[in-house]
Amino acid sequence: MGRPRQFDEAQLLDAATDLFWSQGFDDTSVGDVSAATGVGNGSIYAAYGSKRGLFLAAFERYCDQRARFVRDTVVAAPGSARDAVRALLFAIIDDCAAQPDRRGCLMLNSIAQLALRIPEVVTIGSRTTSAMEQGVAEGLAHRGDIDPAVLSAHSAGVVVMAQGLIQLSRLGTPTRRLREIAAVSGPAMPAGAPVA
């Protein structure tokens, strides 16, 4: 049994996430995380083994949080399935606009940059995307205005739409334009689905 950690792990992983997200994996060192948190390099290496281990712990935690954010936003949204999808897409847009330098999504950025070097990124990203799709489906299933036969495909489409909006935000697309796109494209029900 390992020794208990002598630091606040959530705080350390939050700081590591912020650094990896803003600077990228290659330009972030364990020393950067140590300087940002006051936790010694030795303690970080003892806890995570390597920069890669630290990154994967931070990345997985970030992805779990994003999947919960998607699910919770759709489940909590009032109204029809259309309303719930719109609420999610607008929440994603607002979150993007609040990020420093429109840095996008750590998951999407990391898949693009690290998939060939750190295959766990793809595994975690795939699992997270599935969890997001399941969260959307869970939030829409009880609303009664979407055909259960297309619920899974529609939920996957909503997640793809959200990820596309994140990429457009990263490219500098104005928030107003993103909201226009979401309002027109996001809430559309697939063919054959009842419309509220």
- Two structure tokens written together for 45: 């290496």
pLDDT of residue 3: 54
pLDDT of residue 70: 98
pLDDT band for position 90 (cuts 50, 70, 90): very high
pLDDT band for position 188 (cuts 50, 70, 90): very low
Residue range 56-185 forms a domain whose CATH class is mainly alpha
For the segment 155-170, the average pLDDT, to the nearest whole number, is 95
Closest CA to 62 of 16, 114, 130: 16
Cβ of 187: how many Cβ atoms within 10 Å?
Answer: 21
Angle at 113 between CA 164 and CA 68, to 5 degrees: 50
Question: What are φ and ψ of residue 5, in 5° steps?
Answer: -70, 140
Q: What is the mean pLDDT of the chain?
A: 91
Q: Is the pLDDT of residue 84 over 70?
A: yes
Tokens 């399941």, residue?
Answer: 134
Task: Tell me the per-residue pLDDT of 55-68, one tens digit each, with 9 for 90 and over.
Answer: 999 999 999 999 99
CA distances from 133 to 37, 58, 72, 77, 162 (A): 34, 22, 12, 16, 11
pLDDT of residue 191: 40
pLDDT of residue 136: 96
Segments making up each domain of the chain, as ranges: 56-185
Task: Tell me the per-residue pLDDT of 99-155, one tens digit each, with 9 for 90 and over.
Answer: 888 899 999 999 999 999 999 999 999 999 999 999 999 999 988 778 888 899 999
CA distances from 125 to 60, 107, 119, 172, 182 (A): 9, 6, 10, 24, 23
CA distance 130 to 141: 16
